């Protein structure tokens, strides 16, 4: 199982890095986890089809680029005089989203209409096979089992636990501290965990500090901890995050880096 970090910034893209988006490749199945601003561009530089997209929650930095991604997936259907013939079929890509997303997509699809190429106005109908999920549901995408675990955030958020039969990756999306985190991450080979803060969140919005991420990793017995969802990529900030996590977790710790591919 390989993980490519397409983007790892919290909020809007900054410093050349897109917001949240992660490509998992098992050798048989390629899944995109979250699709924030800048991810459609980053994904276009990676060869190969998508077997599915899973969205943790409907905050802008985790789902905004679904519309341009959908339009990009429709490219084989476009016919325009003088333009290249991209030819071929457009197989809908399974898209797992929280309940309520279809209503949002209906509004999005009406934005920036193109009268001369109406198929582009139907990105969510044609490019994707949209499946709304409830917390606790289990799906099969390609050769991967996809479990959705309810976590704690200001918008409904489900962590994504992927298993290909050999390796397991657990990705938090956005979450504050909750007892559900340890069960969610338990025994994962790789724990991709948000580390937005240097101190515990007292606002109730729902974000983790790096120390809390390390504590969960230790209690869950994960193989490695990958910190992500950075508010800053200044060296001093990142060094502080690593140091905070190391104070709680003695295992392998990595910092997500946009464009980096690694084995899980």
Using an 8 Å Cβ cutoff, are 56 and 34 in contact? Answer: yes
Mean pLDDT calculated for residue range 140-164: 96
pLDDT at 82: 58
Question: What b/e sequence results for 220-241 when a residue is b if at least 16 CB atoms lie within 10 Å of its CB, and e otherwise?
Answer: bebebbbbbbbbbbeeeebeeb
Residue 122, pLDDT score: 87
| Whether residue 85 has pLDDT greater than 60 | no
Indicate which CATH number applies to the domain containing 221.
Answer: 3.60.15.10
- Residue closest to 106 by CA, chosen among 130, 94, 128, 124: 124
Q: pLDDT class for 119, splitting at 50, 70, 90?
A: confident
Judge residue 56's burial from the number of C-beta atoms within 10 Å of its C-beta, 0-12 exposed, 13-18 middle, 19 or more buried: buried
The predicted model gives 139-153 an average pLDDT of 96
Look at residue 87 and tell me whether its pLDDT is greater than 70.
no
Please check whether residue 161 is in contact with residue 192, taking contact to mean a CB–CB distance below 8 angstroms: no
Q: How many domains does the chain have?
A: 1
Q: For the whole model, what pTM was predicted?
A: 0.95
The pLDDT, as a whole number, for residue 148 is 98
User: What is the reported pLDDT for 249?
Assistant: 98
Kindly give, in sequence order, each residue whose CB lies less than 8 Å from that of residue 69, ignoring residues fewer than 6 positions away.
35, 39, 40, 43, 53, 127
CA atoms in the 13 A half-sphere facing the CB of 128:
28
81 has a pLDDT exceeding 80: no
- State which residues form the domain around 54: 2-80+88-263
Of 35-44, 68-77, 186-195, the poorest mean pLDDT is in: 68-77
23 closest CA partner among 69, 67, 57, 59: 69
Q: Is the pLDDT of residue 89 over 70?
A: no
Instruction: Please give the average per-residue pLDDT across 189-194, as a whole number.
Output: 98
């Amino acid at each position: 199982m390989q993980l490519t970090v397409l983007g790892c910034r919290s909020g809007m893209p900054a410093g050349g890095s897109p917001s949240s988006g992660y490509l998992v490749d098992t050798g048989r199945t390629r899944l995109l986890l979250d699709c924030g601003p800048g991810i459609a561009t980053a994904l276009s530089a990676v060869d190969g089809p998508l077997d599915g997209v899973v969205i943790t929650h409907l905050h802008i930095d985790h789902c905004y680029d679904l519309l341009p991604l959908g339009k990009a997936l429709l490219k084989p259907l476009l016919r325009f005089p003088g333009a290249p013939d991209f030819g071929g079929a457009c197989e809908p890509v399974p898209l797992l989203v929280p309940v309520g997303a279809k209503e949002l997509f209906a509004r999005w699809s009406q934005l920036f209409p193109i009268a001369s190429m109406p198929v582009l106005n139907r990105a969510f109908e044609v490019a994707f096979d949209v499946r709304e999920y409830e917390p606790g549901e289990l799906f099969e995408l390609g050769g991967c089992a996809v479990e959705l675990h309810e976590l704690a955030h200001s918008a409904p958020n489900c962590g994504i636990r992927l298993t290909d039969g050999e390796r397991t990756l657990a990705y938090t999306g956005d979450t504050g501290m909750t007892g559900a985190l340890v069960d969610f991450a338990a025994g994962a080979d790789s724990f991709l965990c948000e580390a937005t803060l240097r101190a515990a969140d007292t606002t109730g919005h729902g974000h983790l500090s790096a120390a809390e991420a390390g504590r969960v990793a230790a209690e869950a017995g994960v193989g490695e901890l990958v910190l992500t969802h950075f508010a800053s990529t200044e060296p001093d900030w990142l060094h502080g995050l690593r140091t905070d996590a190391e104070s709680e977790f003695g295992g392998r710790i990595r910092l997500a880096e946009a464009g980096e591919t690694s084995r899980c």
